[in-house]
C-alpha cells in the first residue's frame, strides 16, 4: 500500500496563488486518478477536483489540479485567494489492492 503525503499547513495572502502538494510514496502518481476535497471548519468535505484536474459544477475555475510524474505528486492550485478558501484540503487516490487512500490533509490559512 502507498501513502499520500501533504504539507501540514500553508499560508498565503488574499489575491495570491497557493499550491498544495500530495506526494505518493510508492507506485506512479499517474496510475490512478487523484481527487481533492475542501473541508471548512465544522463542515463536511466537498469535492473541488476529481480525476486529477476536473472541477465539479459550481467549483470556480480558480481551483485547478495537476499531476507531475517527475516528483510523483499531485498538486492543487488556488489562484486569486479569498478568505473563504481558508480550509483543510485532502487529496485522495486508489490503491490497486482495492483501498481508497487519503492524504493527511493541509490547513490553508489566508491572511
Partner 1 sequence: QVQLQESGPGLVKPSETLSLTCTVSGGSISSYYWSWIRQPPGKGLEWIGYIYYSGSTNYNPSLKSRVTISVDTSKNQFSLKLSSVTAADTAVYYCARAQPLLWFGELMGVWFDPWGQGTLVTVSS
- 44 counts as binding partner 1 under rule CB under 8 A: yes
Cα-based torsion angle of the residue sequence 96, 64, 59, 51 in order, rounded to the nearest 10 degrees: -20
- 51 counts as binding partner 1 under rule CB under 8 A: yes
All residues at 6 or more sequence positions from 3 whose CB lies less than 8 Å from its CB, including other chains: 24, 25, 101
Which of 19, 27, 45, 79 contacts partner 1 by CB under 8 A?
45
Which one, 7 or 104, has the nearer CB to partner 1? 104
- 102 counts as binding partner 1 under rule CB under 8 A: yes
Distance in angstroms (rounded) separating the CA atoms of residues 18 and 93: 21
**By the criterion CB under 8 A, which residues form the site for partner 1?**
32-33, 35, 37, 43-47, 50-51, 56, 90, 92-94, 96-105
Amino acid at each position: 500500500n502507498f501513502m499520500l503525503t501533504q504539507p501540514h499547513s500553508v499560508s498565503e495572502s488574499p489575491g495570491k496563488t497557493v499550491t498544495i502538494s500530495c506526494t505518493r510514496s510508492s507506485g506512479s502518481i499517474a496510475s490512478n486518478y487523484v481527487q481533492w476535497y475542501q473541508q471548512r471548519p465544522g463542515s463536511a468535505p466537498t469535492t473541488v477536483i476529481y480525476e486529477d484536474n476536473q472541477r465539479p459544477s459550481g467549483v470556480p475555475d480558480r481551483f485547478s489540479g495537476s499531476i507531475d510524474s517527475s516528483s510523483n505528486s499531485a498538486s492543487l492550485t488556488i489562484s486569486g485567494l479569498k478568505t473563504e478558501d481558508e480550509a483543510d484540503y485532502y487529496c485522495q487516490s486508489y490503491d490497486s489492492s482495492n483501498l481508497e487512500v487519503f492524504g493527511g490533509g493541509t490547513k490553508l490559512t489566508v491572511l
